Structures are given as structure tokens and as C-alpha cells.
């Protein structure tokens, strides 16, 4: 282990403020939110951003570690699987004779924690002075490796400024029995099992300590508790390196040897090698998915923050799990997966990290039987995906919760919010269209689309008016329950069925053997496909032909109108202000519903229909969900109102970056962060997949001088640059075969080494 001094710059944060998020001092009221924001994660391990300051023998708040897929179902009245936290492995306590160095975090005169988003790690820098005893400067680094996801690293550098005293540095682990049963502790290896689900977890650890470049032997004080003692002198430098490796097992596989092996590999490359390979992996992620904005520093930092957490949340190596509503940054919603993943996260991954998108969709394929069971249990055919799911695909939505007003509220989403099946099918089709991953389509994706279409065909019922109706559901707007013919649900269901019919023809023509196998497996007959077509052609969609407005659900237009301006400045959701019963009798919308539909399926809104529907529903939306602002931002940009879209982008970004908006102690709102990327790239740049290429329809806010981003399309890597000052769009193909790029409807051939630069005209967008 070499002296750390030649590489002290590793502990220096990126200097460009657009790449960092920093916090100074200590505020107990904001501590849990800070922990969420400063989480380091790699899609397998997530470590919340606890402070590097100890109080007595404990951390101020022990930083929790989460392992993707580590679910257990504790016995309770509502027995649902929950994500179980693993042991905290960052605990350090420094003491001088008779007392801890830090009794209270307010005693620390300066403390700065920095999330270096470019490098994917957290740094801290703090000074401490104990009058008459010792003064020292501490710097720390923590990461979970993006290149080897089982590995975590902690580095602490302690430099004595002045004072001579006996000092002790203790390093331990907290929560060894927190929610898990400890099976054995053997040296640096700990193995656990869950109480009920049969999962196993192993953690291997090793610590190295140097004093002025020379190793110092630790005293071992109990299981996984180490202590180093020495006498300080001015200029002295102590250096602690801690490596950990975690391995999860869902079956009889013994995770212990694998954890040892991964730790040994980490030991061989050393802490500097861990940092280097981790940074290289992050560099690749940023090259593939960065969004650069000139003219708006706040938006730039917000987008980098969003992309940092999006890149932190995915693990393309494990398709047995997906991304929960708070990713691995907190335990709100117990780690459960919602429709958010497909509608708000998959666009980012599909366009920038197809391997991660594929893994998330394969999770839906692996849980297809759970979706079939749910549909059958409710009397329908095909596949109805769980509203909340974990690793099995079975429904895990609680039946009741305690609301903001402390009243018990029945939760009906698990049975009535059925649009999720169409949402999954939508993500599957978009992934295939953008990536051209034919193997995925004919081995997994087509089956998902067909089985979800089968559900909708059995769910919709023909009635006396000659239309097929879907009654008794909840749409994205969860303020209204047991509604009939929700426009979002019905139009997405129709789209789902029609794409299934397309998939059948594609399979028959391109992969007839695959179609033969699948049709036999699913017992498809032509008569059933003909029935699907009839359902799609006759489904009620709520479109009022005279006005061009979609009625959000049957009877919505007749509900009480509420002027939301009368409730501006409220600090609680509108259904709390009005009461649940009255809210259901009004046109107050919780979140984007018809607006979400126009953002996802713009072809359903020709001419000025999109603008009409947006203008109608926007003033009726109370944005009672973190999902709502970004979807409104995408829609606003699409209809040519980039300034309003920017307002929504700022509103969405504030959810996780402003303490005045909402507490995020339970984790960042990963779907809102995905939505922020969507506003910038799908909204302002107008990116879409079209035929044999991509299309762009830029509409930038006036303050944005330039917008640049990277995307992938069918094995090709592209860089797009939009210059508002020069009114130009430049597309550069960095890898892959020639393709077509359309800018405002005009096609251009693009090949490597020959960027396309187009001057935007004043003609109307297509």
C-alpha cells in the first residue's frame, strides 16, 4: 500500500459547480433529505449519504446500505414484502483520552460534504479543534463501484494540525442484526439470511491503516470492531482504507466464497485501482447520457443531478430485480416497483443505456406469470401486472395507509389502477423501436405485448351502445376512483391491442418459427385476434368530436370546477384541503392524466388537439404527485410553450433539490428525475424515433443558448447539439452505420465523419 500523499487530488472534488452538489454545516431538520440526495449507488448497492461526523459511540444517523432484491415479508396485518437494509459499514469514531472527539455535530466548526456527480462519489472535508488538546483536518471518500457492483470503498485521511495527545480511531459496523438473522461472523466475513423469504447475504471486509505511510496494527475489540491508537504530533497523517464486498443469494447458492473472492480482487487492485476503474465506468456513462445546457446554471445542475441518480439506479447485470420508486436511496414504498419505471425511467435508459433498459424489461418478462395470476384471480385473461411488485411479480400493494390528515385510507390501486399493463407494453414497444433489439422482441417482448393485449380484450365489454367499455378503474389521476372509461386507460389499452396485432404480423413475416412456438404456447387462434381488432376499433375513448377534447372519464365534464388559484400557496395536497369526498366530486386532477396521454401518444392529438387538451386540463391539475410536473413539462414543450415547460422543469427539480418543497427523507423521487431528462430531451429537443432514424423538433426556452446531449439508436451513438443563438441543429454519428435524421420534418443522411448541420427555418414544426 503506497503513501497516499502523491494522490491527494483523489480527495478533491470536481471544480466545475455544474458537476457537484455540496452542503455545509449541520442541520438536523434537513439531515434525512441530505442523506437521500448524497446517496452513492450502482443499482446493486445503495449507501445513503450520512455524515462523516460521529457523536459519542454512534453516528448522528447511521447511513443505511440497501441491496437490490433483498426483500423479506415480515409478519403483519398487511404482510407485504419490504426491502431490508443491510449493515452500515462506514462507522468511524475518533476519541481522545476520556471522551469522544465529537460529542455533538454542532461542535464541528467546518464541515462540507460534496456529491461529485461526474465521478460518482461523496467527499467530506472538515476541521475539528478540541481546545488545549488537538486540532485536526479530516477528509473522506466513499463510493460503491460502478465497475464492480459488489464492492464498496471508504477512505479517510486525518492530518494533525497541532497538539500532542493519545488518540484512538475505531472502525466498526452497525446494524449487523438489523432486519436480518446473522448466521455467522468469521473474521472479516459476515453471513445473514432473511427471516422468511429464504434469501442470503454475505459481506466480506478488510481494513488497512497507515500512520505517516507505515502500517499500524489494529486492536480487535469484538466482531468487526477495530481500533488503532497512537500519539499525535503536528503534521502527522493517518490513512484508513476500508473495502467491503456484498453478495446476495436468492437460492441455495452460498454467497460467502463469492464475497471473499470479490474482496480479494479489490485488494489486488488497491484503493487507487478501485477508484480509477469506478471513475472510468462513470466517464462512459456520462459520455453516453450527459445533457449540457448553456445559459441556465440551475437547470444544468438539476439535470446532472437527475442523470447521476438515474445512472446510479440501474444494474444491467441483474434482470431479476427492477428499480423501485426511491431506487436505492431510501425505504419509502418499501423498494416496490411501479409504473414509474416503464413510463418515466425507461425513456432515459432506452435512449442512453439500452442494456439497463433491457434488464428492466426482462424483469417484467420474468414476472409475467405473476401478472397472469393476478388477471386470472380477478376473472380476466392475459396479464395484469401488479401495481406494486418486488421480485416475484405478485401484487404487493397495501390495502390501506395513513393519509396526510392521519386518517386511514383504503388503497384501491392494487385492484383498480390497471393501466400499468399498457404502460409496460408501451415501454417494450418503444425499446424495440429505438434499439432494434430483435432477439429481445421475438423471445420476450412480443409475449408481454400479446398477453397484456389479451387482458385488455377480456377486460373491455361490449354494451348496448355498440362500444366496448372499461368500467370501474383508477387512472393516473388517483383522486377519482371507480371511474368508467378513463381516457388514459382506454386509449393506452387500444394502443396496446393494436401493437399486439402488429407484433403478430411482424412475427409471422420475420420469425415464423418464433410465432409458431409462441402461438402454441399462448393458444392463439385467428378468431381471438379478430376479436381483438373489434375491441380496439370500438373501445370508448371519451373524445368529444365537436371540441376535440378527451373527457378524462365518463362524467368528468359535469363535475364541479374548482379554481386552483384560490388555493395557491397551500402546503398540503389539495385532497387534504378539500377532503377526499368532495375532491372526488370535482374536476381537480391529482396528476397528469389526459396530459400524460398526449405526451406519450402525440399521434392521438392531431392538429391543435394537443394544445386544446393541455390548456383545458392544466389549470385543473393540483400536482398532488411528484410525477406530474415533468409530464406537464414534456407536453408544454411539445405544443410549443417552452417557457411554461421550463417552469415545470424547475418545479419538478425542486422536489428533490429544494427543502422548501417536500421532504425527501425516504429517498429521491427517481421517476421525477427521469421526467426531468424527458423534459429536456423529448420536450425541448423534440427527440423521437421515426422509421429508419430519429427526428428532432427543437423548442428551447429563451434563456437556453445551447443544448447538447448524447443518445443511442439501433446500435449507433450520436451527439446532438442545438444552438439557439445561431438557430442551428448539429447531429454527429460517433459510431455505427449510416442513418437518417429528420429536423422539423426534413430528412438528412448521417454517416460517421460527416456531421449534419441544419439551420432552423421559420416554418412550422411537423
Tell me the C-alpha distance between 433 and 705, whole Å.
31
Helices (H) and strands (E) in the chain, counts: 21, 36
Model pLDDT, residue 62: 62
| Lowest-confidence pick of 344-348, 462-466, 662-666 | 662-666
What is the average per-residue pLDDT within 324-333? 96
Residue 27 has pLDDT above 50, yes or no: yes
How many C-beta atoms lie closer than 10 Å to residue 545's C-beta? 6
Residues with Cβ within 8 Å of 154's Cβ and at least 6 positions away in sequence, in order, are 89, 90, 140, 141, 142, 240, 241, 242
Model pLDDT, residue 128: 78
In this structure, what C-alpha cell is assigned to residue 138? Answer: 479530516
Model pLDDT, residue 75: 82
- The answer to whether the beta carbons of residues 388 and 338 sit under 8 Å apart is yes
Model pLDDT, residue 3: 44
Indicate left, alpha or beta for 257 from its phi (over 0: left) and psi (-120 to 50: alpha): alpha
Helix (H) or strand (E) holding 513: helix 512-522
Residues with Cβ within 8 Å of 135's Cβ and at least 6 positions away in sequence, in order, are 127, 128, 129, 160, 161, 162, 163
pLDDT confidence band for 692 (50 / 70 / 90): confident
Tell me the C-alpha distance between 343 and 336, whole Å.
15
Q: Which residue has the higher pLDDT, 126 or 428?
A: 428
In this structure, what C-alpha cell is assigned to residue 64? Answer: 443505511
- The answer to whether the beta carbons of residues 655 and 668 sit under 8 Å apart is no
Residue 660 has pLDDT above 80, yes or no: no
Residue 179 has pLDDT above 70, yes or no: yes
C-alpha dist (Å) from residue 507 to 438, 504, 526: 10, 5, 14
Residues with Cβ within 8 Å of 610's Cβ and at least 6 positions away in sequence, in order, are 598, 602, 635, 638, 639
Residue 330 has pLDDT above 90, yes or no: yes
Q: Report which of 288, 274, 275 is spatially closest to residue 316, judged by C-alpha positions.
A: 288
The structural domains of the chain, ordered by start, are 18-287 (2.70.98.40), 290-684 (1.50.10.10)
Residues with Cβ within 8 Å of 544's Cβ and at least 6 positions away in sequence, in order, are 550, 551, 557
User: Sign of the C-alpha dihedral, residues 460, 469, 444, 252?
Assistant: negative
Q: What number of CA atoms fall less than 13 Å from residue 76's CA on the CB side?
A: 11
Q: What is the crossing angle of helices 446-459 and 512-522, to 10°?
A: 40
Residue 449 has pLDDT above 90, yes or no: yes
Q: Report which of 335, 370, 337 is spatially closest to residue 666, judged by C-alpha positions.
A: 335
Tell me the C-alpha distance between 745 and 384, whole Å.
38
Question: pTM to 2 decimals?
Answer: 0.95
Q: Which residues of 291-317 are buried (b: 16+ CB within 10 A; e: fewer)?
A: bebebbeebbbbbbbbbbbbbbbbbbe
387-426 per-position pLDDT tens digit: 999 999 999 999 888 876 677 888 999 999 999 999 999 9
Burial of 346 (0-12, 13-18, 19+ CB in 10 A): buried
What is the average per-residue pLDDT within 288-307? 98
Query: Rg of the chain over CA atoms, in angstroms?
Result: 27
Residue 652 has pLDDT above 90, yes or no: yes
Model pLDDT, residue 763: 45
Residue 637 has pLDDT above 50, yes or no: yes
pLDDT confidence band for 55 (50 / 70 / 90): low
Residue 571 has pLDDT above 90, yes or no: no
574-616 per-position pLDDT tens digit: 888 888 899 999 999 999 999 999 999 999 999 999 999 999 9
Residue 215 has pLDDT above 80, yes or no: yes
- The DSSP 8-state label assigned to residue 469 in this structure reads E
Selected catalytic residue, list 417, 478, 551, 732: 478
User: Sign of the C-alpha dihedral, residues 386, 387, 389, 395?
Assistant: negative
pLDDT confidence band for 107 (50 / 70 / 90): low
Phi then psi for 737, rounded to 5 degrees? -75, 160
Model pLDDT, residue 149: 98
pLDDT confidence band for 58 (50 / 70 / 90): very low
| Lowest-confidence pick of 176-190, 349-363, 735-749 | 176-190
* Strand, helix or coil for residue 695: strand
What is the average per-residue pLDDT within 514-534? 96
Indicate left, alpha or beta for 208 from its phi (over 0: left) and psi (-120 to 50: alpha): beta
Residue 518 has pLDDT above 80, yes or no: yes
Residue 766 has pLDDT above 70, yes or no: no
* Strand, helix or coil for residue 219: strand
| Lowest-confidence pick of 156-165, 371-380, 400-409, 443-452 | 400-409
In this structure, what C-alpha cell is assigned to residue 493? Answer: 389499452
- Across the chain, what does the average pLDDT equal? 92
722-739 per-position pLDDT tens digit: 999 999 999 999 999 999
Q: Which residue has the higher pLDDT, 2 or 625?
A: 625
Model pLDDT, residue 2: 46
Phi then psi for 517, rounded to 5 degrees? -65, -45
How many C-beta atoms lie closer than 10 Å to residue 520's C-beta? 9
Strands 226-231 and 549-550: unpaired
Tell me the C-alpha distance between 500 and 428, whole Å.
11
C-alpha dist (Å) from residue 646 to 294, 630, 635: 14, 9, 11
Model pLDDT, residue 354: 98
pLDDT confidence band for 57 (50 / 70 / 90): very low
Model pLDDT, residue 575: 85
- The DSSP 8-state label assigned to residue 619 in this structure reads G
Angle (CA) 542-543-547 rounded to 5° is 135
Tell me the C-alpha distance between 357 and 342, whole Å.
9
Percentage of the residues of the chain whose pLDDT score is greater than 70: 94
Percentage of the residues of the chain whose pLDDT score is greater than 90: 82
C-alpha dist (Å) from residue 736 to 80, 408, 750: 46, 56, 10
Whether residue 478 lies in the annotated active site: yes
Tell me the C-alpha distance between 46 and 561, whole Å.
44
Amino acid at each position: 500500500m503506497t503513501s497516499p500523499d502523491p494522490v491527494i487530488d483523489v480527495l478533491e472534488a470536481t471544480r466545475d459547480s455544474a458537476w457537484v452538489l455540496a452542503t455545509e454545516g449541520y442541520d438536523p431538520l434537513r439531515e434525512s433529505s441530505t442523506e437521500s440526495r448524497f446517496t452513492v449507488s450502482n443499482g446493486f448497492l445503495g449507501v445513503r449519504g450520512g455524515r462523516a461526523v460521529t457523536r459519542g459511540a454512534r453516528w448522528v444517523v447511521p447511513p443505511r446500505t440497501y441491496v437490490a432484491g433483498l426483500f423479506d415479508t415480515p409478519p403483519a396485518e398487511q404482510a407485504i414484502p419490504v426491502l431490508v437494509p443491510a449493515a452500515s459499514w462506514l462507522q468511524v469514531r475518533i476519541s481522545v483520552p476520556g471522551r469522544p472527539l465529537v460529542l455533538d455535530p454542532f461542535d464541528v466548526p467546518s464541515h462540507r460534504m460534496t456529491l461529485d456527480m461526474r465521478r460518482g462519489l461523496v467527499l467530506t472535508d472538515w476541521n475539528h479543534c478540541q481546545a488545549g488538546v488537538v486540532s485536526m483536518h479530516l477528509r473522506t471518500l466513499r463510493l460503491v463501484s460502478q465497475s464492480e457492483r459488489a464492492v464498496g470503498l471508504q477512505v479517510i485521511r486525518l492530518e494533525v494540525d497541532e497538539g500532542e495527545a493519545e488518540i484512538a480511531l475505531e472502525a466498526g459496523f452497525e446494524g449487523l442484526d438489523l432486519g436480518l438473522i446473522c448466521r455467522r461472523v468469521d473474521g472479516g466475513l459476515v453471513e445473514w439470511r432473511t427471516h422468511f423469504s429464504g434469501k442470503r447475504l454475505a459481506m466480506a471486509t478488510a481494513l488497512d491503516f497507515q500512520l505517516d505511510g507505515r502500517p499500524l496494527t489494529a486492536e480487535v475489540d469484538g466482531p468487526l470492531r477495530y481500533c488503532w491508537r497512537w500519539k499525535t504530533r503536528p503534521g502527522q497523517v493517518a490513512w484508513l482504507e476500508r473495502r467491503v464486498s456484498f453478495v446476495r443469494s436468492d437460492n441455495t447458492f452460498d454467497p460467502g466464497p463469492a464475497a471473499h473472492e470479490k474482496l480479494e480482487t479489490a485488494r489486488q487492485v488497491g484503493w487507487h485501482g478501485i477508484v480509477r476503474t469506478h471513475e472510468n465506468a462513470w466517464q462512459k456513462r456520462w459520455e453516453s447520457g450527459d445533457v449540457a445546457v448553456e445559459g441556465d446554471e440551475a437547470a444544468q445542475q438539476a439535470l446532472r443531478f437527475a442523470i447521476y441518480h438515474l445512472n446510479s439506479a440501474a444494474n444491467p447485470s441483474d434482470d431479476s430485480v427492477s428499480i423501485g420508486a426511491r431506487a436505492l436511496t431510501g425505504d419509502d414504498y418499501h423498494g416496490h416497483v411501479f409504473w414509474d419505471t416503464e413510463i418515466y425511467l425507461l425513456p432515459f435508459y432506452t435512449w442512453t443505456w439500452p442494456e439497463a433498459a433491457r434488464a428492466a424489461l426482462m424483469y417484467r418478462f420474468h414476472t409475467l406469470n405473476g401478472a397472469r395470476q393476478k388477471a386470472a384471480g380477478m376473472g380476466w385473461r392475459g396479464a395484469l401486472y401488479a401495481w406494486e411488485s418486488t421480485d416475484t411479480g405478485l401484487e404487493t400493494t397495501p390495502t390501506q395507509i395513513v393519509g396526510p390528515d392521519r386518517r386511514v385510507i383504503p388503497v384501491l390501486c392494487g385492484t383498480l389502477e390497471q393501466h400499468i399493463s399498457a404502460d409496460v407494453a408501451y415501454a417494450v414497444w418503444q425499446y424495440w423501436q429505438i434499439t432494434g433489439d430483435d432477439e429481445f422482441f421475438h423471445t420476450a417482448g412480443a409475449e408481454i405485448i400479446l398477453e397484456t393485449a389479451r387482458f385488455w380484450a377480456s377486460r373491455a365489454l361490449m354494451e348496448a351502445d355498440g362500444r366496448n367499455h372499461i368500467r370501474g378503474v383508477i387512472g393516473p389521476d388517483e383522486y377519482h376512483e371507480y371511474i368508467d372509461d378513463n381516457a388514459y386507460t382506454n386509449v393506452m389499452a387500444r394502443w396496446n391491442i393494436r401493437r399486439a396485432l402488429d407484433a403478430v404480423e411482424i412475427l409471422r413475416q420475420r420469425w415464423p418459427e418464433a410465432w409458431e412456438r409462441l402461438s402454441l404456447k399462448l393458444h392463439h387462434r385467428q378468431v381471438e385476434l379478430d376479436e381483438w381488432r373489434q375491441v380496439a376499433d370500438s373501445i370508448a375513448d371519451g373524445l368529444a368530436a365537436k371540441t376535440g377534447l378527451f373527457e378524462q372519464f365518463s362524467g368528468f365534464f359535469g363535475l364541479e370546477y374548482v379554481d386552483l388559484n384560490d388555493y395557491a400557496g397551500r402546503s398540503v395536497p389539495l385532497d387534504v384541503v378539500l377532503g377526499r369526498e368532495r375532491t372526488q366530486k370535482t374536476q381537480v386532477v391529482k396528476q397528469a392524466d389526459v396530459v400524460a396521454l398526449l405526451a406519450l401518444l402525440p399521434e392521438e392529438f392531431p392538429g391543435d388537439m394537443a394544445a386544446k387538451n393541455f390548456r383545458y386540463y392544466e389549470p385543473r391539475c393540483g400536482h398532488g404527485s411528484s410525477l406530474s410536473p415533468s409530464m406537464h413539462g414534456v407536453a408544454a414543450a411539445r405544443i410549443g410553450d417552452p417557457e411554461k415547460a421550463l417552469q415545470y422543469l424547475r418545479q419538478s427539480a425542486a422536489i428533490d433539490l429544494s427543502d422548501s418543497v417536500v421532504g425527501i427523507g425516504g429517498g429521491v423521487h427517481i421517476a421525477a428525475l427521469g421526467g426531468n431528462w424527458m423534459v429536456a430531451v423529448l420536450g425541448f429537443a423534440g427527440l423521437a424515433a421515426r422509421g429508419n432514424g430519429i427526428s428532432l423538433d427543437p423548442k428551447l426556452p429563451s434563456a437556453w443558448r445551447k443544448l447538447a446531449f448524447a443518445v443511442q439508436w439501433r446500435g449507433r451513438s450520436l451527439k446532438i447539439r442545438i444552438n439557439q443563438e445561431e438557430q442551428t441543429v448539429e447531429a454527429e454519428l460517433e459510431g455505427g452505420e449510416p442513418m437518417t435524421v429528420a429536423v422539423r420534418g426534413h430528412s438528412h443522411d448521417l454517416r460517421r465523419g460527416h456531421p449534419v448541420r441544419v439551420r432552423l427555418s421559420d416554418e412550422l414544426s411537423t
